[in-house]
Amino acid sequence: MKPRDPSDANDLPHGSAGGGSSRWSDLDRPPLNAAALRRALLREGGLWTAVDVVQRTGSTNSDLVARAASGQAAEGTVLVAEEQSSARGRLDRVWTAPPRSGLFFSFLLRPAEVPVDRWGWLPLLTGVAVATGLARAAGVDLSLKWPNDVLVTVDGAERKAGGILAELAGEDGVVIGIGLNVTLRESELPVPTAGSLALAGAPTTDRDTLLRAMLRSLEDWYGRWRAVAGDPVACGLQETYAAGCATLGRLVRAELPGDTSITGEAVAIDGDGRIVLATREGVQKPVGAGDIVHLRPA
């Protein structure tokens, strides 16, 4: 289980490899119940229009982008994999994890009512929805590292349990992928800074329950955001993200494209979803893309 990029191996924790060939080879990790998920999530007038569970694929994001491009996927299509062999995070980082040790899924959105310049809020909206849904269903506190990481606390230390990846699907769609470590054990961690819900002491690690909770929370937040044409203030998204963002209030280093970096205190999330850094020179600089390294505890 070696990540290709050990500096951020847990960028999008999609599963792959390991375990036996039988789908019941690890009885602590039963397969998802696709029929029950459909009964719980698919309803007339709701966001979710299809829920497909596959045993193994390369990448749910790649598969769903291809399906959307060919016209074979409607908005609200959800694709879940029990195991992935070519999972990707931001900057195409890849790593592997045991089958059924987490939740690895992608979904298609077509936010026609929202100006394209507000689509950058979708990964942050997804983070808020995942964190709020899991807080209720899993019974653990989660926080968000800007822009796309889901954090849990294990033995008093902050660890990464999940990641989010958004990709355009044609001119009118966005595919968002989520990877979440659910029952990953200490011996299975790709890096010491990785974590899982189980290691964080979650009272439940039932993946069907957790997936339903996340998708219902996503439907709620997406509906609110879409109803106000993506205005992050009007729907409460900007305030809620800031309240749950572990990056704010910390000294951080933003590693930017082109091998440059900025160091400063993260002081705000602006109206475009960017993290604003206050540098030692007294300048406030918004960062819209890059890797954030936490240099000091909040």
Please give the domain boundaries of the chain with CATH numbers for all domains: 6-242 (3.30.930.10), 248-294 (2.30.30.100)
Among the listed residues 117, 229, 92, 111, the one whose alpha carbon sits nearest the alpha carbon of residue 170: 111
pLDDT given for residue 36 in this prediction:
98
Residues facing residue 53 across a β-bridge? 80
Percentage of the chain modeled with pLDDT above 90: 82
Q: How many CB atoms lie within 10 A of CB 42?
A: 15
Q: What is the pLDDT of residues 142-154, one digit of tens each?
A: 999 999 999 999 9
- For the chain, the C-alpha Rg in angstroms (whole number) is 18
pLDDT given for residue 280 in this prediction:
94
Weakest-pLDDT range from 8-17, 67-76, 224-233: 8-17
Q: What is the pLDDT of residues 55-83, one digit of tens each?
A: 999 999 999 999 999 999 999 999 999 99
Among the listed residues 238, 201, 253, 228, the one whose alpha carbon sits nearest the alpha carbon of residue 124: 238
Average pLDDT over every residue of 7-24: 40
Among the listed residues 275, 234, 273, the one whose alpha carbon sits nearest the alpha carbon of residue 264: 275
Q: What is the pLDDT of residues 94-130, one digit of tens each?
A: 556 789 999 999 999 999 999 999 999 999 999 999 9
> Is the dihedral angle over the CA atoms 15, 104, 58, 169 positive or is it negative?
negative
